[in-house]
Chain A
Amino acid sequence: MRTTIYCLMLAVLLMAASCAPAPKNAVQKDSLPGMFPDYAGVTIPADIAPLNFEVSDAECVYVEARGGRQGSLTAASGKTYADFDIEGWHQLTRQNCGDSIYLSVCALRDGQWTQYRTFGIFVSPDPLPEYGVTYRKIEPGYETFSQIGIFQRCIHTFDEYAIVAHTALQGQCMNCHVANRCDASQFQLHIRGQHPATLVQVDGQRTLLNTSTDSTIANCMYPYWHPSGRYIAYSLNLINQCFFEDTTKTIEVFDLASDALVLDLQTNELILSDLLMTKDFESYPAFSADGNTIYFCTSRPWMDEGLFDSIRYDLCSIAFDAKNGKLGNHVDTIIAASKQGYSITHPRPSYDGKFLLYSTSSCSVFPIHHPESDLWLLDLATMESHPLTEANSNGPESFHNWSTNSRWIVFASKRHNGLNNLLYFSHVDSLGHASKAFLLPQQNPRQYYDNLMHSYNVPDFTMQKVDLDVRAFAGEVFGDERIQVGVRR
Chain B
Amino acid sequence: MFFAVAFVTYGLMHPEWLNFHEQFQLFQFGSEYLLEHLGYASGLAIYIGEFVVQFFYLPLLGAAVWAAVLVALGLLIHRLSCRISERRDLPVLPALLMPLLIMIYQVDEHAMAAYPVSIILALLAAWGYSSVRPAWRVYANIVIIPLLYWLLGYTVLVYIPVAAALDHVDHKVSIRASVVRGVVGVMLYVVSALVVSRTVMLHYIYRDIFFGYDYYRLRMVVPVMQHVVALAAVLLVLLSGLMPLSKKLAKPVLAVAMVAAWYLGCVRAFASDVWYATIYVDYQVGKENWDKVIEYCDKNPDKTTYYTVNAVNLALAMKGQLAERMFQFPQQDQTSLIGNFQNEVYSALATAEAYYHLGLVNSSLRLFFDSQECVKDYSKTARCYRRMAELFMINGNYEVAAKYSDPLARTLFYSDFAHKLEACYADPSKIMQDPKWAQIKRFRINDNVMHNTLHLNNLFTGLYQMNNDNRMALEYALCLDLLNGDLDHFLKRFPLTQGGRTTGFVDIPRAYQEAITYVIYKRGGSVWDLPPYISPVVQQDFNRFVTLMSQNPNCEELRTGYLAKTYWRYVVSSN
Contacts and interface: CB of A to CB of B under 8 A. Distances in A.
Interface of A: 139, 141-147, 149, 162, 164-168, 170-171, 242-250, 308, 417-420, 450-453, 470-471, 474
B402 A450 contact: yes
Main secondary structure of the interface of A (DSSP, over half): loop
Contacts of B445: 245-246
B370 A243 contact: no
B220 A418 contact: no
Given A167-B204, A168-B204, A418-B397, A245 B373 contact: no
A147 to B, nearest CB: 5
A250 B400 contact: no
Nearest to B449: A245
B448 interface: yes
A246 B203 contact: no
Contacts of A146: 373-375, 378
A436 B480 CA distance: 52
Contacts of B197: 471
A419 B397 contact: yes
A143 B397 contact: no
Interface in B250-281: none
Interface stretch (B51-59, B87-95, B167-175, B360-368): B360-368
B375 A246 contact: no
Contacts of B449: 244-246
Given A141-B370, A450-B402, A453-B403, A242 B450 contact: yes
A167 B369 contact: no
Contacts of B213: 167
Contact of A168 (B203, B341, B400, B403): B203
Given A147-B378, A167-B203, A167-B204, A247 B400 contact: no
B203 A162 contact: yes
15 contacts: A144-B373, A145-B373, A164-B203, A167-B203, A243-B450, A244-B450, A245-B360, A245-B363, A245-B451, A245-B459, A246-B448, A247-B361, A250-B362, A419-B397, A471-B205
B132 interface: no
Contacts of B220: 170-171
B399 interface: yes
A102 B373 CA distance: 45
Contact of B370 (A144, A164, A250): A144
B204 A245 contact: no
A451 B459 CA distance: 35
A335 B268 CA distance: 70
A419 B362 CA distance: 13
Q: Which of A147, A164, A170 has the most CB of B within 10 A?
A: A170
Contacts of B202: 162, 168, 470-471
Interface of B: 32, 197, 202-206, 208, 213, 219-220, 341, 343, 360-363, 365-366, 369-370, 373-375, 378, 395-397, 399-400, 402-403, 406, 444-452, 459
A417 B366 contact: no
Most buried by A among B219, B362, B365: B362
A278 to B, nearest CB: 28
Given A144-B370, A246-B447, A451 B343 contact: no
Contact of A450 (B208, B395, B396, B403): B403
Contact of B363 (A165, A170, A243): A243
Contacts of B448: 244-246, 248-249
A143 B451 CA distance: 14
A417 B360 contact: no
The 9 closest A-B pairs by CB, nearest first: A165-B203, A144-B373, A245-B445, A146-B378, A246-B448, A168-B203, A170-B219, A243-B451, A417-B399
Given A162-B203, A244-B450, A450 B362 contact: no
Contact of A166 (B206, B378, B402): B378
Nearest to B385: A453
Given A167-B204, A418-B400, A244 B378 contact: no
B450 to A, nearest CB: 5
Nearest to A138: B373
A52 B341 CA distance: 42
A417 B400 contact: yes
Given A164-B203, A250-B362, 7 more contacts: A168-B203, A243-B362, A247-B362, A250-B366, A417-B400, A419-B400, A471-B206
Contacts of A165: 203
B23 to A, nearest CB: 16
Contact of B396 (A142, A245, A247): A247
B362 A245 contact: yes
Contacts of B360: 245
Interface centre among A243, A452, A470 (most CB of B within 10 A): A243
Nearest to B201: A167
B374 A144 contact: yes
Contacts of B374: 144, 146
A450 B402 CA distance: 8
Nearest to B207: A170
Given A451-B406, A453-B403, A242 B378 contact: no
Nearest to A471: B202
A166 to B, nearest CB: 7
Contacts of A242: 450-452
Contacts of B203: 149, 162, 164-165, 167-168, 470
B93 to A, nearest CB: 41
Contacts of A246: 362, 445-449
Which among A242, A471, A474 has the highest number of chain B CB atoms within 10 Å? Answer: A471
A415 to B, nearest CB: 12
Given A139-B373, A168-B203, A247 B446 contact: yes
B210 to A, nearest CB: 13
Contacts of A471: 197, 202, 205-206
A162 to B, nearest CB: 5
Contact of A171 (B208, B219, B375): B219
A243 B366 contact: yes
B294 to A, nearest CB: 29
A250 B388 CA distance: 14
A141 B369 contact: yes
A245 B361 contact: yes
A149 B447 CA distance: 35
Contact of B373 (A141, A247, A308, A470): A141
Nearest to A474: B205
Contact of A167 (B205, B373, B444): B205
A460 B170 CA distance: 62
A418 B220 CA distance: 36
A128 to B, nearest CB: 28
B343 A144 contact: yes
Contacts of B399: 417
A34 to B, nearest CB: 14
B427 to A, nearest CB: 17
Nearest to A144: B373
Given A450-B402, A450-B403, A453-B403, A143 B204 contact: no
B367 to A, nearest CB: 8
Most chain A CB within 10 A, of B206, B213, B369, is at B369
Given A166-B378, A242-B452, A247-B396, A143 B361 contact: no
Contacts of B362: 243-247, 250
A114 B246 CA distance: 81
A166 B374 CA distance: 14
B46 to A, nearest CB: 13
B209 to A, nearest CB: 10
Nearest to B395: A247
B395 to A, nearest CB: 5
Nearest to A247: B395
A164 B206 CA distance: 15
Nearest to B344: A144
Contacts of B206: 471
Contacts of A149: 203
Contacts of B447: 245-246
Nearest to A453: B403
B393 to A, nearest CB: 12
B293 to A, nearest CB: 26
